[in-house]
Chains A and B, each alone.
Chain A
Amino acid sequence: MPYTYLEEIAIADVAFRATGKTEEEVFAAAADATVNVMVEDLATIRDRVRIPVKLENDALDMLLFDFLNEFIYLKDAKGLLMRVYTIHIGRRDSRFVLSGELYGEKLDPLGHPLRGDVKAVTLHRFNLRRTDDGWEATVVLDI
């Protein structure tokens, strides 16, 4: 898995580090890490619903913040558990633009063994950085 949960950053909550060779990969890994806090096995999320996603932000790390918040919003507002189908991150007029498609299905406690709910993505030690191997994100989720 391109993400690991971190032990001591967030005693009361959940922290993770996600990695990827590209911006798109690290965003997708961070999304899976977020959803995996709520669902035990991501493989139980089937491709039944497709949702387009389009986001913009001045800063790449805040684009990741917005992106992760999409998954929490979709879970609460639409009852959907989603994963990345495809995303592309580009630049337009000095802004970062993400576009793509998510896949998933309606949350069903019988079909999706559930874990804890994620309240929010926090900016506590929130970090997105370039590494020798690509990209690395550190995120703390409020549980």
Chain B
Amino acid sequence: MAPAGLKKVSDTVWELPPSYKAGMLVPARIYATEKLIRAMDDGVFDQVTNVACLPGIIRAAFCMPDGHWGYGFPIGGVAAMDPKTGVISPGGIGFDINCGMRLVLTNLTYDEVKPRLRELVDRLFERVPCGVGSRGFIKLSRDDFRSVMAEGSRWVLRKGYGWPEDLELTEEGGCFPGADPAKVSERAVERGVDQVGTLGSGNHYCEIQVAKPENVFDGELAKRLGFTIPNQIAIMFHCGSRGFGHQVATDYLQVFLKAMESRYGIRVDDRELACAPFLSPEGQNYLAAMTCAINMAFANRQVILHRIREVFADIFHRDPLDLGMHMVYDVAHNTAKLENHRVDGKPKEVLVHRKGATRAFGPRLEGLPARYRETGQPVIIGGSMETGSYLLVGLESAAETFYSTAHGSGRTMSRNKAKRMVRGDKLQREMEQRGIYVRSATRSGLAEEAGAAYKNIDEVVEATELAGLSKRVVRLLPVGNIKG
């Protein structure tokens, strides 16, 4: 329930002032419609105001319209820190470092894909490993894996699993600078070395989607982003840095817990907000290790894309280039990185934490690929496997949130409750009757991800548009899905 003291700034911006909680350095601002804010759990307000207490935070602690409680930061949390005086916190990034979304086009229509849909999904399920304990098809030596950490998608391209244009269409070219494998534990390497090219479990998925003409919000923008034919088929997938990133986060959470108060005199209310000054040895080591995980996740999604292209080529007996399997974009939603923004009217380099929040650069911002310079950055927001997902673009008006927007629909029902209410096999049959063929590593995992367990994605993305954070381009409906 929304707390007393929550001030309505506009129809889509709500604020808790610094007086709300002792220690707040800046206000907490939540982007949501009235309906969404009334439905937000208490954890959001508690956690976003905890974030507002972190040393060096600039402007405000933000929460996006899909916000719900997380670990340390709420999911949907955004915070920019002054690199000289501020902190870096694994709680502002998440355990699944560089969890993100990739969207790939085809020039196939739904009518062309429909007769082969089961075959396609079954083959994807075989070829893209998912679920507990899954292993990737690429066997990497420790040295190879260190190269993956340092080079991300570039390494994958060098090995022949991609097209040069894929890198241009990945945030930061699929490789954040500053990765240092020496700052990563052996345990993290052991957990990750066999996992490049695996989807994972939980809410991670690979989905075949259709762009129906009635779901195109802006025809001109849709064309410029590659949606040029009615009922065009696209593939969207969602995954991150797997056990490797989880271990990096776990390792540094403990490093920060030990150093935070004793060495730097920083106290936080929640151990998941453990942090260290950005410029401290601990902060810089974490940045270098976290960047390794960011790059591993880009490599992971690049390898998965290669497998998807192979599957489509096998089924349709056509080259992936001939099938028009170009990427739209790959964007992360669990990261922290240095970016240039305007603060108090002046350009300034700031450390932006995005935890379950997507970077959404508006037109003409530095770092955009040439082809998206005028459109703004493509933003990919994944919904539940039953309801659909969205392609949006970044807007100039998102400068306030350091060009950040939502990342998904956000759960409203616990996994156990979803399992009690929904039977996986029944859901699978019902979805098939509705034209969505789904394969899952487990039936219970399927039940946990039922559409009813999530917020209405339409309301979330509409809120981002009303708030000027991102603009809807096309809604993509699922027709095939594989899940861990």
Contacts and interface: CB of A to CB of B under 8 A. Distances in A.
B250 interface: yes
Given A10-B414, A73-B187, A121 B250 contact: yes
A12 interface: yes
B270 A13 contact: no
Contacts of A117: 131-133, 200-202, 484
Interface stretch (A23-31, A122-130, A131-139): A122-130
Contact of B272 (A77, A119, A124): A124
Contacts of B192: 76
Contact of A115 (B187, B250, B253, B444): B444
Interface residues of A, number: 37
Given A5-B416, A11-B413, A73-B187, A114 B71 contact: no
Contacts of B191: 73, 76-77
B195 interface: yes
B74 to A, nearest CB: 11
B71 A38 contact: no
A114 B187 contact: no
B175 to A, nearest CB: 23
B166 interface: no
A12 B416 contact: no
B465 interface: no
Given A117-B484, A119-B202, A123-B253, A142 B190 contact: no
A76 B188 CA distance: 10
Contacts of B133: 75-76, 79, 107, 109, 114, 117
A122 B272 contact: yes
B442 A113 contact: yes
A106 to B, nearest CB: 9
Contacts of A39: 132
A135 to B, nearest CB: 20
Contacts, number: 113
B108 interface: no
A7 interface: yes
B102 interface: no
B412 interface: yes
Interface in B438-460: 441-442, 444-445, 448
Given A11-B412, A11-B414, A117-B202, A77 B96 contact: no
A77 B200 contact: no
A12 B411 contact: yes
Contact of B271 (A11, A38, A69, A123): A123
B189 to A, nearest CB: 9
Contacts of B243: 72, 76-77, 119
Contacts of A143: 201-202, 415
B71 A11 contact: no
Nearest to B448: A116
A81 to B, nearest CB: 8
A11 B68 contact: yes
A11 B411 contact: yes
A18 interface: no
Given A13-B415, A126-B271, A116 B95 contact: no
A122 B71 contact: yes
Nearest to B245: A119
B131 A122 contact: no
B417 interface: yes
A124 B69 CA distance: 10
B444 A40 contact: yes
Contacts of A40: 444
A72 B71 CA distance: 18
A75 B192 CA distance: 11
B247 interface: yes
B64 interface: no
B246 interface: yes
Interface of B: 41, 68-72, 75, 95-96, 131-133, 135, 187, 190-192, 195, 200-203, 242-243, 246-247, 249-250, 253-254, 270-272, 274, 411-417, 441-442, 444-445, 448, 484
The 6 lowest CB-CB distance pairs between A and B, nearest first, are A117-B201, A77-B190, A76-B243, A76-B191, A123-B271, A120-B95
26 contacts: A5-B416, A7-B416, A11-B69, A13-B415, A14-B415, A40-B444, A69-B250, A76-B133, A76-B192, A77-B243, A79-B135, A109-B131, A113-B442, A114-B442, A117-B131, A117-B201, A117-B484, A119-B246, A120-B249, A120-B250, A123-B253, A124-B270, A124-B272, A142-B71, A142-B95, A143-B202
Interface of A: 5, 7-8, 10-14, 38-40, 62, 69, 72-73, 75-79, 107, 109, 113-117, 119-124, 126, 140, 142-143
